[in-house]
Amino acid sequence: MPKTEKELAFITDLIHDEWTRRFTELVDKHIDLADSENLAYLKAGTGNHAMQLGEKYGEKTAVFASCENAEVLQIAMDKAVALRSSVDFSQIKFEDDSFDAVLADASFETADDAADLIEEAIRIARVGADVAFFLPSSGSFGEVFSLLWEVVAAEDTGPDAPNVEELITELPTAAELETLAKSLGMVNIQREVVNETFEYENGEAFITSPLVENFLLPRWLRSLDEGGVERVTKALSKLIDDEDGTLSFRFSVKATLVAGEKG
Residues 6+ apart with CB under 8 A from 224: 157, 160, 161, 162, 232
pLDDT in tens, the chain (263 residues): 678 999 999 999 999 999 999 999 999 999 999 999 999 999 999 999 999 999 999 889 999 999 999 999 999 999 999 999 999 999 999 999 999 999 999 999 998 999 999 999 999 999 999 999 999 999 999 999 999 999 998 887 778 888 999 999 999 999 999 999 999 999 999 999 999 999 999 999 999 999 999 999 999 999 988 888 999 999 999 999 998 777 899 999 999 999 999 99
Specify the pTM: 0.94
Q: 225 is in which domain, residue-wise?
A: 141-170+202-247
Residues 156 and 101 in one domain: no
Q: Are residues 101 and 2 in the same domain?
A: yes
**CA 152 – CA 157 distance, rounded (Å):** 7
The reply to whether 145 and 110 lie within a common domain is no
Same-domain pairing of 190 and 95: yes
Largest CA distance in the chain: 59
On whether both 193 and 212 belong to a single domain, the answer is no
Same domain, 2 and 103: yes
SS3 40: strand
Quick one: 86 and 145 in the same domain? no
Neighbours of 41 (CB within 10 A): 27
Convert 201-212 to b/e letters by CB count within 10 Å (16 or more is b). Answer: ebbeebbebbbb
Are 73 and 155 within one domain?
no
152: CB partners within 8 A, 6+ apart: 161, 162, 164, 232
Q: What is the pLDDT of residues 141-195, one digit of tens each?
A: 999 999 999 999 888 777 888 899 999 999 999 999 999 999 999 999 999 999 9
